[in-house]
Structure 1
Amino acid sequence: MSYVLRNYQQDLKNKIYKALDDGFKAPLVVSPTGSGKSLTMCSTAYDMGITQGLPTVISAHRRELVSQLCVSLARLKIPHNIIAPKNVVVGIIAAQRRAVGKQWYDHRAPITVVSVDTLNSRSDRYKNWADGIRVWIQDEAAHVLKNNKWGKSLSLFPNAIGIGFTATPQRLDKRGLGTHADGLFDTMILGPSTKYLINEGYLSKYKIVVPPGDYEKHLVKANEGSDFTREAMAVASRESCIVGDVVKNYLKFCKNKLTIVFATDIESAFKLEKEFIDHQIPAKTLTGETPDQERSQGIIDFEEERTKVLINVDLFDEGLDIPGVECVIMARPTMSIGKHLQCIGRALRVKKGKPHAIIIDHVGNIKRHGLPDQHRTWTLDRIVKRRDTTNLLRICSNHMCNSPYDKVLEACPYCGTEYLKTYNRSGGTSAREALEQVDGDLMLLDPDTIRELESEMILESPEEISERVAMAAGTAAGISVGRKQQERIDMQKQLAQTIAVWAGKMKHFGYSDRQIHKKFFLTYDMSITGALSLKTKEMKSIEGMIKYEVGI
């Protein structure tokens, strides 16, 4: 193998081997889109299959993913077998020859790259071979549940340990990937954050544009735990101006840049293609129905920049690795955080001469899911339904910018346009009502209002409240109330410590004290002082939310 891994890739491998040494049977590795998971997987497969002599499988569910893994193995000069349809194998051999000048396919090799669907359809034929596999490595492992096709394919390896890789372990259906929930994994290994990779130059900086448009006005809301239906997305595409908007904003913000467009349906995709071509922009549409040879040639033409705009329908949200991509246009809405980050990740690869990636969002995905490098907490547990969160982004009002930015900021960090808001403080509003009117900005409240809010935090002592209640309702009632008041005071101290940890993290991310107060209000629908004056049960609930958000 002739490749030096980056420090964080080697660190991930070390954590994998430690987890296996500690007795875990199936760790799940989480590392962002663009962090080089394919190379980390292939290097791990080399250690297992070649160095240790353990028959090893790398599994993927799409032909593009299978091909990408095989090309990565070829670049590392690692021989490997392939189990996939014959036409896919032929295409992979051709891709390897283009990439490294020779093929590395060898049916006798101890490492095999398998297609999930092919393996499931030929399970009887490969049973004896599968019994001999000692290690499986699953790409895009967020798909794996015990009873779906991914889980079924991995169950064919009863004598193997497993390793999963994913960028986004949160599923739209809220099922958990842990063995204790709905999946196969028994521990999680976290890789570097997207913010770290951008800061260190491993991923591209980015600029996001959210142009005004009418698509969301025509989009029927998705059901809980489901994505938008194909019909709803297609209807919104037909009834809105999104086709013209996409091309207009391409010309405005990223003209002549190598761009991937995510479209809702085949009809809309071809309308987009025609609109681009009518504006003398070379464009090509690829879908799941596109013949293999045409699909492969379309990607080659795009890589070699004969085509400037590649339009796809649910095809390239996973696995397409083209560093030259400079822009991603979201013309397909999604309720899936995984799909959202995967799509954006197509543009975050680094390339010489590329100052930043451009993300143009026509369908509200940024407002639903946030920025690509914001902090996120992952878990192997099932996701418990939580309250809707306040939108923490605002869109710059400068039509030449239209960038989203953190709502705690008073001006757009990209163009400097100030956010203007007027407040109606008349009408005898209470302190809490006034606080809502200024989005939690304590610096805008007068001293008397702040003192009123802070006074609510001072809880009566258990002794005082016990004595007062005992005089009115008897000794037993006084003792009971005093005990509950002590519990409330203890919970207040505990919540204050948790908020302090959260605020420390915000400080680390560069927020000022004023911005921290405001961000707390926008995130949790109350001020910090308000949270510390709640009842015991309510304080406990808020503390749980904060701990979940920051991973403590």
Structure 2
Amino acid sequence: MSFLSKLFGIRNTGPDWSFQVTAISAVIRDFQQNIAGRFLLVLPTGGGKTLTAIRSLNEMLNKGMISRDDKVLWIVHTLSLHTHAVKNLQKEAHYSKFSLNQELKSIVDVRMKAEAVKELAKGKKYKLIVIDEAHHAAASTYREFFDYPIGILGLTATPHRMDKLGLPFEKISYSITFRELVRRGVVLLPKFLPEVRTNINVQASSLQDETQLAKFNSRERNQLVSHTLFQEAEKHNFKKVIVFAGTNAHVERLYDVIKADNASSKNPFAHVGFIYGGNNNEKGMTNEKYLEWHQSQDSSILINCKILNEGYDDPNIDTVVMATPTNSILYYLQCIGRVVRTPEDHANAKAYVVEIVDRLPNVAYRIDNRWLFAEISDYLEPLIQDIKSPWPFRVWTTFRNLIKFKVKFGDLSASDIMALLAGKRTNLLLFNDVPNTHRGKWRLMAIPEGDMKKISMFNDLSENIDEYYNINHDFILEKNYPDIFNKEPYKNRVYRSSLMAALHRASLLKSKKERVDTLIYLSVQ
């Protein structure tokens, strides 16, 4: 077993998918209490959201919560997601392995969003709605689905990455972190290769606007991307590569450069291709047929623009190249998610990420790939410091960090200290409402890995601090999180005030595009 495998506790006995059974039970329990409820199922990319949802529907059918005469509306917003959902619903191996009812094939209607709107408007009756990639439900175009008195199950990998657009769900029925899936051997731990710095000044004012993204499409930069790709491929023996570009025109220019370099390479890939919306690819096929063909390729480079970040599952992809930067953590994680799926030969599988970094004087560019492993919300952009030492060395590393920040050790309970000494993975949130003055004291909150109560509490406070800060703090904390704030030190009024003030200061700094200096997250890996 490798050092990283030991560090993350990855089993070498095969993937442990038992969490799906727990997730199904949680979904069933919530809908049994309220069949018209709106609930979220949160599984990171590679965790099997689609299959888990199908198995949940099967269990509802078994329990009589939905009947063979009922209909379930499964809503998707891209053709690739439509294909993915239909394939999973039709896959006979699922029916034999999980004893699924064949009636599911006729009960579930997979529809594109616009088609789903029309069917509901015409009065077609549905017992339940499933919204795939439910983080989009924050958009106004999804709101009308929530006007119907129908239960809704939302599927998403990233519920806390909505730039504060609240999702219209009552609760999260079940969630699991990416890090836990790594430990279970379900997904791969990607290796982020050293950033490639172009030293090119790109005068883009936005990483969302297509006219601004076009500024990354220069001959000099494209040649550097291609050169880097083949250089790293030679070192690490890449097999199947996906390149993410920012515009359709950039896709085609990169394709020309990479194809030419591939032809002169010592170890050329068997295929170099491109794909973007509107059935555009180098073979002139429909995109659906093209991607089916591409999955059969063992050696390939495929350049795309916003086609493969959702709904495309090919476990043989071993490398992602981020040829255009993004400041959307949601999009970033979706792209990286293409490379973490475990292939059948998982014992020897590897995953790589290549990032191209430019000088961006007009853009607040703060993506940190460590958020892929974080359990807490990135909304306020706390500083992350990784503690990667194996036990018992990480005990020394952890306490050395705490001494450096002159933390108030009284904020740790006896059980917190014993857990740290025993080597249990316990992350630590440090906060300071006035870090630049002598009055500022770094306070502590121990967050044992997997403690969803504390994680959810921090995420909720972070994403709603502007609203909560102007309400009585004791009322908010005791009303929303009584299990946490009825114990020392959390019930101490000074502690509470410092926490809320630190979060509020972080929000103000972020709004000014300044570095957040009030929150530090010591992440034990």
* Both proteins in one fold, TM over 0.5: yes
Deviates more, 1:267-276 or 1:363-372: 363-372
Look up the equivalent residue of 2:42 and give its one-letter code: V
Q: Structure 1 residues 46-55 or 111-120, which shifts more? A: 46-55
- Distance in 1, matches of 2:421 and 2:330, equals 24
Question: Counterparts of 2:366 and 2:520 in 1: how far apart (Å)?
Answer: 20
Give a deviation string over 1:29-68, Cα, whole Å, max 9, x none: 1110010111111222333357631421211111110111
Q: Residue 362 of structure 1 aligns to a residue in which SS? A: strand
**Aligned partners of 2:195, 2:520: CA distance in 1, in Å?**
32
**In 2, are the aligned partners of 1:286 and 1:313 still within 8 Å (CA)?**
yes
Q: 1:362 aligns with which of 345, 356, 367?
A: 356
CA–CA separation in structure 2 for the residues paired with 1:68 and 1:505: 46
1:144 is paired with a residue of what secondary structure?
helix
> Match of 2:212?
232
Q: Deviations over 1:468-509 (max 9, x none)?
A: xxxxxxxxxxxxxxxxxxxxxxxx95x555996899599534
Match in the other structure for 1:200: 184
Which residue of structure 2 lines up, in the alignment, with residue 295 of structure 1?
Answer: 287
Aligned partner (choices 25, 30, 36) of residue 42 of structure 2: 30
Equivalent-residue separation in structure 2 for 1:142 and 1:502 (angstroms): 39
State the Cα distance separating 1:198 from its structure 2 match.
Answer: 1.4
Alpha-carbon offset, residue 361 of structure 1? 1.2
State whether residues 344 and 372 of structure 1, in contact with CA within 8 Å, keep that contact through their aligned partners in structure 2: no
Q: Which residue of 1 aligns with 2:225?
A: 246
Distance 1:547 1:507, change over 3 A: farther
Please name the residue that 1:57 is paired with: 73
> Structure 1 506/161 Cα, relative in aligned 2: closer, same or farther at 3 Å?
farther
**Matched residue SS, 1:314:** coil
C-alpha deviation, 1:351, in angstroms: 1.3
1:541 to 491, 498, 501: 501
Deviation at 1:443, TM superposition (A): 8.0
Is residue 2:258 matched to residue 1:276?
yes
- Distance 1:374-1:522 versus aligned 2 partners, 3 A rule: farther
Contact preservation (8 Å) 1:214, 1:242: yes
- Matched residues in 2 for 1:306 and 1:539: separation? 52
Give a deviation string over 1:169-191, Cα, whole Å, max 9, x none. Answer: 134432111xxxxx2x1011333
Determine the structure 2 residue equivalent to 1:464: none
1:12 aligns with 2:23: yes
Contact in 2 for aligned 1:376/1:549 (Cα 8 Å): no
Contact kept in structure 2, 1:28 and 1:189, CA below 8 Å: yes
Secondary structure of the structure 1 residue equivalent to 2:354: strand
Distance 1:57 1:253, change over 3 A: same
| Residues in 2 aligned to 1:258 and 1:523: alpha-carbon distance in whole angstroms | 47
Q: 1:139 to 1:501 in 2, by over 3 A?
A: farther
How far is the alpha carbon of 1:357 from its aligned partner? 0.5
Conserved in 1, the CA contact under 8 Å of 2:58 and 2:104? no
Specify the alignment match of 1:419 in structure 2.
Answer: none
Tell me the alpha carbon deviations over residues 391-415 of structure 1, each in whole angstroms, 9 at most, x when there is no partner.
Answer: x47xxxxxxxxxxxx4x679xx9xx
RMSD: 4.6
Contact 1:228 1:334 in 2 (8 A): yes
1:31 maps to amino acid: L
For 1:164 and 1:505, the matched residues in 2 are separated by 40
Question: Partner residue of 2:115?
Answer: 118
C-alpha distance 541-345 of structure 1, shift in aligned 2 (>3 A):
same
Displacement of 1:153: 4.1
Q: Which structure ranks higher in relative contact order (CA pairs < 8 Å, sequence separation ≥ 6)? A: 2
**Which of 191, 194, 218 pairs up with 1:210?**
194
The offset of 1:210, in angstroms, is: 3.2
Per-residue CA deviations over 1:177-229 (Å, capped at 9, x if unaligned) read 1xxxxx2x10113332211211221112321113332277315354xxxx532
Give the aligned residue type for 1:357.
Answer: A
Q: Quick check: 1:531 aligned with 2:442?
A: yes
Gaps of 5+ in 1: 80-103, 178-182, 394-405, 414-439, 458-491
| Structure (1 or 2) with the larger CA radius of gyration | 1
Give how far 1:168 is off.
0.5
Q: Which residue is 2:156 aligned to?
A: 166
Unaligned runs of 5+ in 2: 1-14, 96-100, 264-268, 359-363, 391-397, 445-493, 507-517
Once residues 341 and 290 of structure 2 are traced to their aligned partners in structure 1, the CA distance between those partners, rounded to angstroms, is: 20
Q: How many pairs does the alignment contain?
A: 411
Secondary structure of 2:110's aligned partner: strand
1:278: Cα distance to partner?
0.7
Aligned equivalents of 1:409, 1:326: Cα separation in 2:
24
2:375 aligned with 1:376, yes or no? yes
Q: Contact 1:321 / 1:346 at 8 angstroms: preserved in 2? A: yes
Q: State the partner residue of 1:488.
A: none
8 Å CA contact 1:30–1:191 kept in 2: the answer is yes
Q: Is the 8 A contact 2:238 2:318 kept in 1?
A: no
CA distance in 2, matches of 1:63, 1:141: 16
Aligned-partner Cα distance in 2 for 1:220–1:274? 24
Q: CA deviation at 1:135?
A: 0.9
User: Partner residue of 2:455?
Assistant: none
Partner of 1:258: 240
State the partner residue of 1:139: 132
Does the CA-based 8 Å contact 1:498-1:547 persist in structure 2? no
TM-score (norm 1): 0.63
Residue equivalent to 2:91 = 75
